[in-house]
């Protein structure tokens, strides 16, 4: 019995030794292979990972509003105890509608001439720098400075205005300049999403306030010859030409014969998009050949106190460059907006989609009225 147990014990030891030997052989072989592969791999060139650049989309999203007209009640409502001004609170209800677009346009109707010249309102405006800051915070990057209030604070007002906008990177302003050379250098060709574009601003109205002789660069007063000369400089180098026009008669919902004439002239010059302002009320949208014309988008903010003047529009569209290089417009839409205030305070811009009868009594009736104004000529804009 003892011999059998002893034999079994030796068999187990032998099996363990055999298994251990096999394990050592396998491990040794693995180590040799690993060292060989490591040596071979060290001679290979490293793998280079390349990132493929996403192709340009050849599309732009655009948002546009009308006149930013800062009356005394507006900037007084924005005044802080420390003497600064905060306008951002007035735009909280429309901020999300404006931000996030490739190009965002507005007309700075009241000149930003700086506090040193004294803030003022009608008939000669001068606004604090903080309104420009607020508009930039909203996302605006195309700014028209040519209008009937450009010369309200004379040459010094224009100098201060231009110097203010020159400090704002990413913002394309036009319509005022410090010299003829400065005006020339501000005719730029910019590119976004594979689309090259240029932007001009002109006014046909000046309130009788003209720049001094020899300093016509202070404000861009429209003439067919001047516009043609400007546009010819960029026409063959860009895909898209945008023009802001300060024109027409105030407080009217129809474009004048002069507006129609100028729109046709600009269309013939190759302008793709015309954004009109100055009426302080809405006017229709029209297509002239391949040119899309917004005759007037009304007030974005002001203290004017009738519903026509308190109603404006935020307009949207997509611009696409086709394979043959032509420009197409799509998704032309608008939100009607209303500037609410009570007495001379609590200014806030609301989209009509957020109105109720407590903010504007019979707002649905006004909605239908202004929707019809925008589509008076052609049903080309969808009003939300």
pLDDT of residue 38: 47
Domain of 228? 61-383
The verdict on residue 32 lying in a domain is: no
Does any domain span residue 5?
no
For residue range 6-53, list pLDDT tens digits in order: 445 555 565 565 555 555 554 555 555 545 444 444 433 333 333 334
311 touches 338 (CB < 8 A): yes
Q: Which of 63, 71, 72 is nearest to 335 (CA)?
A: 63
Give the mean model confidence (pLDDT) for residues 276-298.
Answer: 98
Q: What number is the average pLDDT over the span 172-191?
A: 97
Instruction: Establish if 12 belongs to a structural domain.
Output: no
Residue 237 has pLDDT above 60, yes or no: yes
Angle ∠(141,200,168) on CA atoms, nearest 5: 30
Burial class (CB in 10 A: 0-12, 13-18, 19+), 335: buried
Max Cα distance, the chain (Å): 131
Binned at pLDDT 50, 70 and 90, residue 57 comes out as confident
The model's pLDDT over 263-285, given as tens digits with 9 standing for 90+, comes to 999 999 999 999 999 999 999 99
pLDDT for residue 162: 98
Instruction: List C-alpha distances in Å: 336 to 256, 311, 313, 359.
Output: 22, 7, 4, 14
Q: Can you give the pLDDT at residue 315?
A: 98
Mean pLDDT of 216-245: 98
pLDDT digits (tens, 9 = 90+) for 73-105: 999 999 999 999 999 999 999 999 999 999 999
Determine how β-strand 311-321 pairs with β-strand 59-68: antiparallel
> Three-state DSSP class for 140?
coil
Sign of torsion over alpha carbons 354, 357, 361, 367: positive
pLDDT score of 4:
46
Strand ranges inside the chain, DSSP E:
59-68, 103-108, 142-144, 172-174, 190-192, 195-203, 240-246, 273-277, 285-288, 291-294, 299-301, 311-321, 327-342, 345-351, 382-383
**pTM, two decimal places:** 0.85
Task: Output the domain CATH number for residue 166.
Answer: 3.60.21.10
pLDDT at 48: 33
Q: Average the pLDDT over 158-168 and give the result.
A: 98
Mean pLDDT score of the chain, rounded to an integer?
A: 90
In a domain, 46, yes or no: no
β pairing state of 103-108 and 59-68: parallel
Would you tell me how many other CB atoms lie within 10 Å of the CB of residue 107?
29
In the block, which residue shows the tokens 């001094």?
A: 212
- Top pLDDT among 39 and 115 is at 115
Whether 27 is in a domain gets the answer no
C-alpha 118/C-alpha 262 separation (Å) is: 35
Residue 234 lies in a domain: yes
In a domain, 34, yes or no: no
SS3 at position 339: strand
Domain count for the chain: 1
> How far apart, in Å, are the Cα atoms of 180 and each of 148, 156, 185, 232?
20, 16, 9, 17
- Across-strand partners of 312? 298, 337
Say if residue 12 is exposed, middle or buried (CB neighbours under 10 Å; 0-12, 13-18, 19+): exposed
What DSSP line would sit under 304-319, residue for residue? --SHHHHEEEEEEEEE
Is 31 within a domain?
no
User: For residue 162, how far is the Cα from the chain centroid?
Assistant: 19
- pLDDT recorded at residue 16: 60
CA separation for the pair 14, 21 (Å, rounded): 11
- Percent of the chain surpassing pLDDT 90: 84
The whole-number average pLDDT for the span 115-142 is 97
| pLDDT at residue 370 in the model | 98
């Amino acid at each position: 019995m003892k011999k059998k147990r002893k034999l079994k014990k030796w068999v187990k030891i032998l099996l363990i030794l055999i298994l251990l030997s096999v394990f050592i052989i396998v491990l040794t072989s693995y180590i040799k292979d690993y060292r060989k592969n490591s040596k071979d791999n060290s001679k290979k060139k490293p793998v280079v990972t390349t990132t493929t650049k996403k192709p340009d989309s050849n599309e732009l999203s655009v948002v546009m509003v009308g006149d930013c007209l800062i009356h005394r009640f507006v900037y007084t409502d924005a005044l802080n105890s420390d003497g600064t001004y905060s306008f951002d609170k007035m735009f909280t209800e429309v901020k999300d509608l404006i931000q996030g677009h490739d190009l965002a346009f507005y007309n700075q109707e009241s000149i930003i001439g700086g506090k040193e010249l004294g803030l003022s309102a009608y008939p000669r405006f001068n606004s604090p720098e903080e309104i420009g800051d607020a508009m930039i915070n909203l996302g605006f990057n195309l700014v028209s400075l040519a209008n009937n209030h450009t010369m309200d604070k004379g040459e010094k007002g224009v100098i201060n205005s231009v110097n203010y906008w020159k400090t704002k990177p990413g913002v394309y302003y036009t319509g005022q300049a410090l010299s003829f050379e400065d005006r020339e250098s501000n005719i730029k060709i910019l590119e976004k999403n594979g689309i090259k574009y240029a932007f001009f601003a002109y006014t046909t109205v000046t309130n009788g306030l003209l720049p001094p002789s020899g300093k016509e660069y202070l404000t861009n007063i429209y003439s067919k010859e001047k516009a043609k000369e400007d546009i010819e400089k960029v026409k063959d180098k860009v895909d898209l030409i945008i023009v802001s026009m300060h024109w027409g008669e105030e407080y009217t919902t129809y474009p004048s014969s002069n507006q129609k004439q100028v729109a046709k002239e600009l269309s013939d010059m190759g302008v793709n998009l015309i954004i009109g302002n100055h009426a302080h009320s809405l006017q229709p949208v029209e297509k002239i050949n391949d040119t899309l014309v917004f005759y007037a988008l009304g007030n974005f903010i002001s203290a004017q106190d009738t519903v026509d003047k308190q109603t404006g529009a935020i307009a949207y569209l997509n611009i696409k460059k086709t394979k043959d290089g032509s420009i197409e417009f799509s998704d032309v839409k608008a939100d009607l907006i209303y500037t609410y205030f009570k007495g001379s305070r609590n200014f806030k811009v609301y989209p009509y989609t957020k109105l109720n009868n407590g903010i504007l009594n019979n707002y649905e009736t006004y909605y239908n009225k202004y929707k019809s104004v925008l589509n008076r000529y052609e049903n080309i804009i969808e009003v939300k």
